Structure 1
Amino acid sequence: MNARDRDVDGRARSARPRDGLGRPLPYGAPGVERQPEGVVRSPGETVREAQRLLDAGMPFHAHEVFEDAWKSGPEAEAPLWRGLAQLAVGLTHAARGNAVGGARLLRRGAVSLTGREAYGIDVPGLIRWARELAARVEAGERIDPAAESPRLIGAGTPDP
């Protein structure tokens, strides 16, 4: 194994297994299957897959799904998907015990989502969730990512 893993284009890509929060594990350790990169999904598929990962306590992997949407979708929608990715990464950092980074990213995601409602995503609810979670993280509360999983689609709203 090379000291630095590279993809076919020479970009650094760690082949190390990762845990559910995206932390690298030793080579050969069992890990969580990583999300494939560059997958183009419909908005509805993106929301459903990200929700599945969030519910499973894998916000790091959900962030990768949102990142694919922001990079492959229309430029006008990039702020929505980027804001959702920031929330997922904020939850990841909070669950890893990084209170400062977690709270900062949760708040940044909330700001990014302001006025970005689309696809039945409960943007006001997510903004409220992010701000409340950021305050709890800063107060020193330990975070279980599966228990804190936000609902992307509001109750009674059909899937996109």
Structure 2
Amino acid sequence: MGAAAGEVRAALTRFAARYADGRFFDAHEELETVWRRSPELPMRFLQGLIQWAVAFEHHRRGNAHGARALLDRALANLAIVPPGYLGVDIGAWRAAAPGLRAAFLAWERGGPRPDAPAPRFVPPAGPT
């Protein structure tokens, strides 16, 4: 059985709070349970959010390869969902993605660690 809509919305709200605080590992943990219990499309979307957060955790820890690899995986999963999916606006993420990918790739190839602030995440509106 899949995760209930209210449970997913509550997890996304908790994810947003941890992500906004720069607690990327903790943010990813907030989605783990609902991600594993979701049907295909929500699962891919939630997995993309998890991977995005983990990419920034790798950046924070100084792991260039991990940051670039997880960002690439996140982008692949997030590319398949329409704008506003599950009431979430990831427009800022999509706009930042090409520049972030280029910066992480240059870093992975030996360039300096980029100043790459995590773009804002807007959780779905509504009761949690």
Same fold (TM over 0.5): yes
Q: Is the 8 A contact 1:54 1:150 kept in 2?
A: no
What's the counterpart of residue 136 of structure 1? 103
What's the counterpart of residue 67 of structure 1? 32
Report 1 or 2 for greater relative contact order, CA contacts < 8 Å, sequence distance ≥ 6: 2
Are 1:126 and 2:93 counterparts? yes
Alignment gaps of 5+ in structure 1: 1-38
Report which of the two structures shows the higher radius of gyration computed on alpha carbons: 1
Q: Is the 8 A contact 1:49 1:62 kept in 2?
A: yes
Seen in structure 2, the aligned counterparts of structure 1 residues 124 and 61 have a Cα distance that, compared at 3 Å, is: same
What's the counterpart of residue 149 of structure 1? 118
Are 1:159 and 2:125 counterparts? yes
Percent identity of paired positions between Structure 1 and Structure 2? 28
Match of 2:13 among 34, 48, 60: 48
What displacement does 1:142 show?
4.5
Are 1:112 and 2:77 counterparts? yes
Q: Deviations over 1:80-129 (max 9, x none)?
A: 00011110111110111111110111121011101313122223432333
Matched residues, number: 116
User: 1 or 2, which has the higher helix percentage?
Assistant: 2
Seen in structure 2, the aligned counterparts of structure 1 residues 131 and 92 have a Cα distance that, compared at 3 Å, is: farther
Alpha-carbon RMSD across the aligned residues, in angstroms, is: 2.6
Instruction: Give the alignment's TM-score, normalised by structure 1.
Output: 0.61
Alignment gaps of 5+ in structure 2: none
What displacement does 1:132 show?
2.2
Match of 1:87 among 52, 63, 79: 52
Match of 1:100 among 56, 65, 71: 65
